[in-house]
């Protein structure tokens, strides 16, 4: 019997399991209550064959159909695997992990992300979006790296936690347009000098907590592709697609 199985009943007695969002009682220490689970929006099919953008349940399209944004600007990545769409509920989870130091949430969030990565096996590399060392020092951890570590365990893939480095500190991108975001991130993200050979010719999952405009992930994908990565799939817990929420 595992030590966790022995200790869990005592832990539940002293600290009754509660939903981390609303405080309602739950059956286990890890997880949300039924009401909060029901408020998460899980993207499904039909979806874009390139980026996974959901088209809506009432839309009938052939397999491999591509959304208008991907047709207009073909992405460098090889797909996006989003566990949820960004709404009030997923936002609270992201903020609790990123700024509330609720690192115990990573297990649950990573499991939801891993369900969207069924094709991943031991041949893949798992690489988190990097934080600059100053921000890492202030926060104490990189939430993307924590999620990446759990996904690597769940899928049996190899974690390369320092595959990417952020060479310069960048301001918060909120409120900036796409061109301004690209300009701010120019030259900010690169392959770790000692990890280039391990990435060359490999298939990579790039992990982050939230995918907003895609500026940061695009900079990471570009760095990985320049290093010779064969394929780069972006995995995030929450993807900002406000228009998709209206059709789900």
Along the 248 residues of the chain, how does pLDDT read in single tens digits?
443 444 444 444 445 678 888 888 765 656 889 999 999 999 988 899 999 999 877 667 777 899 999 999 999 999 999 999 999 999 999 999 998 889 999 999 999 999 999 999 999 999 999 999 998 999 999 999 999 999 999 999 999 999 999 998 877 776 677 778 778 788 889 999 999 999 999 999 999 999 998 889 999 999 999 999 999 999 999 999 987 776 66
The number of C-alpha atoms within 13 Å of 92 and in the hemisphere containing its C-beta is: 12
Distance, CA of 106 to CA of 145 (rounded, Å): 10
Distance, CA of 62 to CA of 224 (rounded, Å): 31
Q: Report pLDDT digits (tens) over 145-197.
A: 999 999 999 999 999 999 999 998 877 776 677 778 778 788 889 999 999 99
Structure tokens at 215: 């500026």
Do residues 217 and 234 make contact, with C-beta atoms less than 8 angstroms apart? yes
Residue with tokens 């009754």: 16
What would be the CATH architecture of the domain defined by 40-169+177-245? Answer: 3-Layer(aba) Sandwich (3.40)
175: left (phi over 0), alpha (psi -120 to 50) or beta: left
For the entire predicted model, the pTM comes to 0.89
Distance, CA of 225 to CA of 195 (rounded, Å): 13
Domain boundaries, the chain: 1-38, 40-169+177-245
């Amino acid at each position: 019997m595992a030590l966790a199985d022995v200790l869990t009943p005592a832990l539940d007695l002293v600290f009754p399991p509660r939903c981390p969002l609303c405080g309602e009682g739950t059956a286990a220490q890890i997880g949300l209550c039924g009401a909060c689970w029901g408020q998460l929006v899980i993207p499904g099919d039909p979806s874009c064959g390139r980026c996974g953008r959901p088209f809506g349940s009432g839309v009938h399209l052939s397999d491999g159909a591509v959304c208008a944004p991907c047709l207009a600007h073909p992405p460098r990545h090889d797909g996006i695997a989003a566990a949820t769409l960004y709404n009030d509920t997923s936002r609270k989870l992201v903020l609790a992990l990123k700024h509330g130091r609720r690192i115990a949430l990573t297990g649950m969030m990573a499991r939801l992300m891993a369900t969207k990565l069924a094709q991943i096996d031991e041949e893949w590399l798992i690489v988190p979006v990097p934080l600059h060392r100053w921000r890492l020092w202030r926060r104490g951890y990189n939430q993307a790296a924590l999620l990446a570590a759990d996904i690597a365990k769940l899928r049996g893939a190899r974690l390369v936690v320092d595959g990417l480095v952020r060479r310069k500190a960048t301001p918060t991108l909120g409120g900036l347009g796409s061109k301004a975001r690209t300009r701010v991130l120019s030259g900010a993200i690169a392959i770790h000098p000692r990890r280039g050979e391990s990435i060359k010719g490999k298939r990579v999952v790039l992990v982050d907590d939230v995918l907003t405009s895609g500026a940061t992930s695009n900079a990471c994908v570009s760095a990985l592709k320049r290093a010779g990565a064969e394929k780069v799939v972006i995995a995030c817990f929450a993807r900002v697609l406000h228009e998709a929420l209206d059709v789900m």
